[in-house]
Structure 1
Amino acid sequence: MTTPLPTRPFAALLFDMDGTLISSIASAERTWSRWAAAHGLDVAAFLPTIHGVRSVETIRRLNLPGVDPEAEAAAITQAEMEDVGDVTEIPGARAFLATLPPERWAIVTSAPRALALRRLAAADMPIPKLMVAAEDVAQGKPAPDCFLLAARRLGVAAEDCCVFEDAPAGIRAAEAAGASVVVVTATHHEPVSAKHPAIPNYRNLRAVTDPDGLRLTTDL
């Protein structure tokens, strides 16, 4: 049974970026495949581990001898910035964001800010008033720090936010922050858990602003 969308009002909506607002999987996996192959890794086994977390943490947890995670992450970011030709919006995302009050939403991404801005521009997506990027927190997802920071900068409680996510690390981070979660499945290849409501894209999603906040509804 599909978990229904929450009916309560929210003070703000927080969005992951890659896989949630835009599809950049092909670009990211091309870059990371080359890197993994150069370091003798099993590419097919490695690629699922890159999504939703900061590049530096992906590299750090491998404990590869003689590898500087900071330098390698910077090189990967540069390569990803040069490969954005097929980065596209998740269907309906641009129109959905356009309906939101600018002070009521933010992007919370594990990507460095420069890469995030590059990918958003490539997909012709709006730039939010507030973005929390990889360099803004000491601990990336699945730690809740990024969502807690975004809520604080918006002047609201994380418990009064709804987070849109696609990756397990981001979902765990949102849960740890105490936020509600909607899972975006546009880029998923496997069924998702029924623990949280899920949407395939934003085509039928609406956010209605009332005196109590933002309420999510669908046209279905």
Structure 2
Amino acid sequence: MPSSEPPVSAAVVLSRRDFDAALFDLDGVVTRTAEVHAAAWKRLFDAYLEAHARRSGGPFQPFTAEDYQRYVDGRPRLDGIRCFLASRGLTLPEGSPEEGPEAETVRGLGQRKNGYFHETLEQRGVGVFEGAVGLLERLRAAGFRTAVVSASRNCEAVLRAAGLEHLFDARVDGVEAGRLGLPGKPAPDTFLEAARRLGVPVERAVVLEDAQAGVQAGRRGHFGYVIGVRRAGPEEALVRAGADVEVTHLSTVRVDARARGTTR
């Protein structure tokens, strides 16, 4: 991301007259862990695809950035594995939760990917998007309630490592979704649960997402406003997926503290 001041685009204003809460995805919106996840997924799938090509005698077609955006980003880990494998005409047994990362099953690959993620996280640490942190601070100062909604089962650890726990009133992550039996994005259920925990009607809540699956979840949940945060990928792809607007820098989003019934 360039270090210069971001260009000013069409104004996006979040006003307390219109909304009471903001629901943020974590990876790629608030923290720079999306690139850590992407690297872990590529390491996982390239090794698996190369081994499969050797066994089958077919060509090796590596995992691409487009594969990550289309099939994996924003989805629960096991859903991402199933979705990507299906895109290549491949299937694996589900396996059991007790299996280790060496197992050639969906759950085994999930364990392997999680190990790669933690290795990379330890090497790189947790970076944050300062524009997102600044927006969170402005929203909370204006009286908005905030929640983090993430497919990641590592959400709590990432928030703690980045020192961001105090910026959220609620957290609905992969652990909570599993405990409650909630389907992951693009289903809207995790966002709906976050709004319920905040005590806010969906039409009074804003969703901020960088993944097409997350944007689709916000649209399917009939939330009041869906902001697509484009960190990578083609321009307007998130709008085509269902976002009301697409921004590249959250520092450009303005906050109006005036609540309903306020005239000035």
Pairwise mapping of residues 69-148 of structure 1 onto structure 2 (< 5 A)?
A: 69-84=106-121, 85=124, 87-101=126-140, 104-112=145-153, 115-127=154-166, 128-137=168-177, 138-148=182-192
Q: CA–CA distance in 2 between the matches of 1:172 and 1:149?
A: 16
Q: Which has the higher helix share?
A: 2
Alignment partner for residue 200 of structure 2, among 143, 146, 156? 156
Give the superposed CA RMSD.
Answer: 2.5
Task: Compare CA radii of gyration and give the structure with the larger one.
Answer: 2
Report the counterpart of residue 208 of structure 1 in structure 2: 256
Q: Partner amino acid for 2:228?
A: V
Please say if 1:43 is aligned against 2:63.
yes
In the alignment, structure 2 segments of 5+ residues that lack a partner are: 1-8, 50-60, 94-103
Report the counterpart of residue 54 of structure 1 in structure 2: 76
Report the counterpart of residue 16 of structure 1 in structure 2: 25
TM-score (ref. length: structure 2): 0.70
Q: CA–CA distance in 2 between the matches of 1:87 and 1:208?
A: 30
Aligned length in residues: 209
Asked if the contact 1:36–1:46 (Cα under 8 Å) also holds between the matched residues in 2, the reply is no
TM-score (ref. length: structure 1): 0.82
Q: CA deviation at 1:174?
A: 0.3
Query: Percent identity among equivalent residues?
Result: 26
Which range moves more in the overlay, 187-196 or 26-35?
A: 187-196
Provide, for residues 152-199 of structure 1, a one-character-per-residue CA deviation record: whole Å limited to 9, x for no partner.
1111111211101111100110001001101112x1231014562222
In the alignment, structure 1 segments of 5+ residues that lack a partner are: 214-220
Asked if the contact 1:140–1:146 (Cα under 8 Å) also holds between the matched residues in 2, the reply is yes
Q: Partner amino acid for 1:133?
A: D
Asked if the contact 2:186–2:215 (Cα under 8 Å) also holds between the matched residues in 1, the reply is yes
Q: CA deviation at 1:87?
A: 3.7
Q: CA deviation at 1:106?
A: 0.2
Q: CA–CA distance in 2 between the matches of 1:212 and 1:81?
A: 45
Seen in structure 2, the aligned counterparts of structure 1 residues 4 and 208 have a Cα distance that, compared at 3 Å, is closer
Q: CA–CA distance in 1 between the matches of 2:68 and 2:82?
A: 15
Q: CA deviation at 1:27?
A: 1.2
